[in-house]
């Protein structure tokens, strides 16, 4: 197969930031994706319907000319989230999901949840109206090894929440372990997971072996090779509970290269080429459409995009190493392999 036409994909986990960064990186997603679920961890975070509407307007104003890209907005769950505001935002279609960050788990997550009892009423209302909860699935207990925090989160936090609030629709974001993949498979129709592009390509050796490579440092951090292979099997296996959420996370190089650098991989530019390469290597190219175009809309109860994109196989594609912003460059994720698939339209 040297050509593949699929419904235009969606990205179910995307960071666009704001200001100069937003204006620089949005075209990289809008070029290939019809919709993206936009993360709310700005400073300050997007916690109310009014803030979500304002952020949506800034994104729409930054769209390239004639782009049909549609941002799907989220609210940042805090212990002060108001049920009335959340329900009103959901009922008018302003927000598509609510994001749960355990306090301190990742970039700009200081306003997240520490006491889950304080958000139970919000979660019960979300279950009533079918509004999905997207979770950053890591505990923040400093006594727990960073490579174990996803598995511990399932046992200590996520499974108790799902038992206490039956019917709550949950997406485990950017899963990184076999444990998470197995848990999602067994979780029934109210549980799904996103898988990132970079976690299909790198393991923890790529970050640490032979020297520290800050542009591969992300949260949740990449795990052992056995876990990467489990993610590849989940993504390419055709199971509807798994779909693409790139977690493309732009940071200025100056922030990534500090002694205490930022976590995140910027993959918006070359994601579809990388995924086509991964799926082809697994002899699963025919399942790429489900992973990037169909499974996500099905879980979020949205229509599949009617527009299409075509990927064509040929000579290796050259992508820019950097995206320029008014504040400095952002490094594009390097998959460490030739990419033979390009998006033709």
Any idea how long the chain is? 345
Contact predicate 251/243, CB 8 Å: no
Unique residue bearing structure tokens 């038992």: 163
Unique residue bearing structure tokens 């000319």: 65
Backbone angles phi, psi at 291, to 5 degrees: -65, -40
CA nearest 142: which of 104, 109, 193? 104
User: Which is catalytic among the residues 54, 85, 247, 327?
Assistant: 247
Q: Which DSSP category does 264 fall into?
A: -
Q: What HEC string does 106-164 produce?
A: CCCCCCCECCHHHHHHHHHHHHHHCCCEEECCCCCCCCCCHHHHHHHHHHHHHHHHHHH
> In the annotation, is 141 catalytic?
no
Please state, in angstroms and rounded to a whole number, the distance separating the CA atoms of residues 11 and 9: 7
Please state, in angstroms and rounded to a whole number, the distance separating the CA atoms of residues 287 and 236: 6
Per-position DSSP letters for 271-323, written without gaps between them: HHHHHHHHHHHTT-GGGHHIIIIIHHHHHHT-PPPSSEEEEEE-SPPP--SEE
**What sections of 186-266 are H helices per DSSP?**
204-208, 225-236, 253-256
Query: How big is the CA angle at 38 (ends 308 and 279), to the nearest 5 degrees?
Result: 45
Please state, in angstroms and rounded to a whole number, the distance separating the CA atoms of residues 257 and 131: 38
**Residues designated catalytic:** 247
């Amino acid at each position: 197969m040297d050509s593949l036409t699929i419904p235009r994909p969606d990205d179910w986990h995307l960071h666009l930031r704001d200001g100069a960064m937003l204006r620089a990186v949005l075209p990289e997603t809008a070029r290939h994706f019809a919709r993206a679920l936009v993360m709310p961890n700005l400073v300050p975070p997007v916690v109310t319907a009014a803030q979500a509407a304002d952020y949506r307007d800034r994104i729409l104003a930054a769209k390239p000319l004639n782009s049909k890209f549609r941002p799907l907005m989220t609210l940042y769950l805090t212990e002060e989230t108001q049920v009335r505001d959340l329900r009103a935002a959901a009922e008018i279609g302003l927000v598509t999901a609510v994001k749960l960050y355990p306090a301190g788990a990742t970039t700009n997550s200081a306003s997240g949840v520490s006491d889950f009892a304080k958000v139970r009423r919000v979660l019960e209302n979300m279950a009533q109206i079918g509004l999905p909860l997207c979770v950053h699935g890591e505990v923040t207990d400093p006594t727990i090894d960073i490579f174990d925090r996803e598995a511990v989160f399932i046992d200590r936090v996520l499974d108790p929440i799902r038992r206490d609030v039956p019917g709550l629709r949950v997406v485990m974001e950017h899963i990184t372990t076999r444990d998470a993949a197995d848990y999602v498979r067994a979780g029934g129709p109210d549980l799904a997971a996103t898988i990132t592009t970079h976690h299909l390509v790198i393991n923890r050796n790529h970050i640490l072996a032979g020297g520290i490579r800050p542009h591969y440092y992300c949260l949740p951090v990449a795990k052992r090779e056995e876990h990467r292979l489990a993610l590849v099997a989940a993504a390419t296996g055709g199971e509807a509970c798994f779909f693409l959420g790139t977690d493309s996370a732009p940071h200025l190089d100056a922030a990534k290269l500090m002694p205490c650098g930022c976590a995140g991989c910027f993959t918006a530019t070359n994601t579809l080429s990388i995924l086509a390469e991964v799926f082809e290597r697994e002899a699963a190219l025919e399942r790429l459409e489900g992973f990037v175009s169909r499974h996500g809309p099905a879980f979020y109860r949205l229509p599949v995009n009617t527009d299409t994109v075509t990927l064509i196989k040929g000579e290796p594609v050259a992508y820019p190493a950097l995206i320029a912003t008014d504040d400095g460059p952002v490094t594009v994720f390097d998959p460490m392999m030739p990419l033979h698939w390009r998006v033709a339209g």
